[in-house]
Structure 1
């Protein structure tokens, strides 16, 4: 199996961003995605209209997902995929709450409703894996930790039932030393940033407020993890501008995922 995976927080559409508001960045986002020739993208913060804008800019991609308030309401944790190469199998979602089967539910002192979207994806060559994509709360530590515990439980159950490898993408809103991240590592999920660390490359920030800052005290909050039966190669944090703009206030993170030999 070979798949080029991206996680990318699009930044919601708000007039407060001025010249960086979504209508002025749409082309930059599309150009960045085209530049990397990615197979599958886990996005965060995109609402339905934003996804439709990308659909027009990127006709080679399709997407699946639902708003976190249900239906087309609220932000999506949508998954985009290259139609010529990949086909969708089973799909679903759950809220990060005490009532996971119902979207639009807040639990654990979360500031907003939160969710996880999942899908099984199969290539024309027959390679198949599961993709989970999420956006954890940015305020409540309890919501962050219990939300990830629920995701880990769901991934474990899914993998036990299907024996499929799994990829997890998302904006976790925590730094690498947080239990949200270390808990995944303790269960032997592979962190894409471990590749950079082995190469003695700094990871740096992935959230930059449209300022383009790279290093300093801030650390990454956007992640790609894979199950132990997969390997990660050639990890990139894209800090470039496109169309004269940063595509978002988050940098996209890209990794090549292959079956472990």
Structure 2
């Protein structure tokens, strides 16, 4: 089965962004999603009303996940999925902290609470085809929090995903390829990096609305080694004259 996965940091809605505030970008974000028509989208920095905007505009998507702050508030690391294509077998979320079940908890000098949202999906037409998705946004300040967080996520994946079920890990990892976080993931024989099939360097995925391409990625898609990677794109397009986010979305086409 062919599947298209996207990871997309939306840039949280900040009024001081002025022309780049969410009200001026929501249609552009939806347009770039529609352009690629992904089955699954790992979203970062989405507030609840931003996610509702996407649901309302695109129509055929629903999402999993909760706000990272106590009381289900704050940014989400949500997973959007096509509701007409998939059943949700199971779902959940845990905090990247020493108290992973406590909403809003944080550890290891993390600047904000950080979470991992996961979903177990089944194709409606082919119920024997199942897979897992894990989506996260690692801390932008604390290297210790990034290292502890990715190890926690990997431990969860290793004990949670059955060996015969494909899985994907999406997210803004706030780490370039030479960082120990990415080296840790590259050391796992069970994982394949979506960038591994690119010719040449991936380039930057964060551009601060500048359109810059120089640098290295911090947004990633990893897949179980059994997944056949077909094509990876970093979409640096403007939509109607401006960028939909300060990050470029990354899109993987694969066969599971």
Render the CA deviation track for 1:184-215: whole Å, top value 9, x for unaligned.
Answer: 1211210011111xxx3331000000000012
The 3-state SS of whatever aligns with 1:210 is: coil
Counterpart residue number, 2:51: 51
Render the CA deviation track for 1:65-123: whole Å, top value 9, x for unaligned.
Answer: 10001443010000001112111110001000011111201100001000000000111
Counterpart residue number, 1:40: 40
- 1:11-30 to 2 correspondence within 5 Å? 11-30=11-30
In structure 2, distance between residues paired with 1:146 and 1:202: 27
Counterpart residue number, 1:246: 243
Counterpart residue number, 1:123: 123
Counterpart residue number, 1:94: 94
The 3-state SS of whatever aligns with 2:81 is: strand
Counterpart residue number, 1:210: 209
- 1:1-261 to 2 correspondence within 5 Å? 1-124=1-124, 125-126=126-127, 127-160=129-162, 163-188=164-189, 189-196=191-198, 200-215=199-214, 218-259=215-256
The 3-state SS of whatever aligns with 2:89 is: strand
In structure 1, stretches of 5+ residues that fail to align are none
In structure 1, distance between residues paired with 2:102 and 2:131: 25
In structure 1, distance between residues paired with 2:114 and 2:212: 28
RMSD: 1.1
In structure 1, distance between residues paired with 2:57 and 2:247: 20
Say which is worse superposed, 163-172 or 107-116, in terms of deviation. Answer: 163-172
In structure 2, distance between residues paired with 1:258 and 1:70: 38
> How many equivalent pairs are there?
253
Deviation at 1:2, TM superposition (A): 1.9
Poorly superposed stretches of 4+, deviation over 4 Å: none
The 3-state SS of whatever aligns with 1:118 is: strand
TM-score normalised to structure 2 length: 0.96
In structure 2, distance between residues paired with 1:3 and 1:84: 14
TM-score normalised to structure 1 length: 0.94
